[in-house]
């Protein structure tokens, strides 16, 4: 088992919690019939969900008929946010340790 020191564990924990929230937010998208079921997923993946959506719409408007495409857009935004969260928390932990 790989042993991580505290300064590397905290950013990893933050990212894992964020991904858990994103995965929990995808459940209502697939289980409900209301378009507002995706609101939590959209909010968690801001601002990328609003930036990527017009790009995909410009490429092919028919892609939004598929729910999987919408969730993939949100997951791309979640991955970008997770990377930014990891970098920010790593920087903060290193600044606090100095």
- Tell me: pLDDT of 69 over 90: no
Residue 52 has what pLDDT? 82
Query: By the 8 A CB rule, do 56 and 63 touch?
Result: yes
Residue 4 has what pLDDT? 61
Say if residue 44 is preceded by a cis peptide, omega within 30 of 0: no
Residues 5-55: tens digit of each pLDDT: 766 789 999 999 999 999 999 999 889 888 788 899 989 999 988 888 788
Residues 74-91: tens digit of each pLDDT: 899 999 999 999 999 999
Q: Looking at residues 62-85, what average pLDDT do you find?
A: 87
């Amino acid at each position: 088992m790989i042993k991580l020191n505290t300064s590397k564990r905290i950013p990893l924990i933050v990212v894992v919690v964020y991904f858990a929230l994103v995965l929990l937010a995808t459940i209502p998208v697939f289980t409900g019939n209301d378009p507002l079921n995706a609101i939590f997923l959209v909010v968690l993946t801001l601002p990328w969900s609003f930036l990527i959506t017009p790009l995909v719409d410009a490429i092919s408007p028919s892609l939004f008929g598929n729910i999987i495409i919408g969730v993939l857009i949100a997951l791309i935004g979640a991955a970008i946010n997770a990377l930014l969260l990891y970098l920010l928390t790593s920087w903060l932990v290193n600044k606090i340790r100095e």
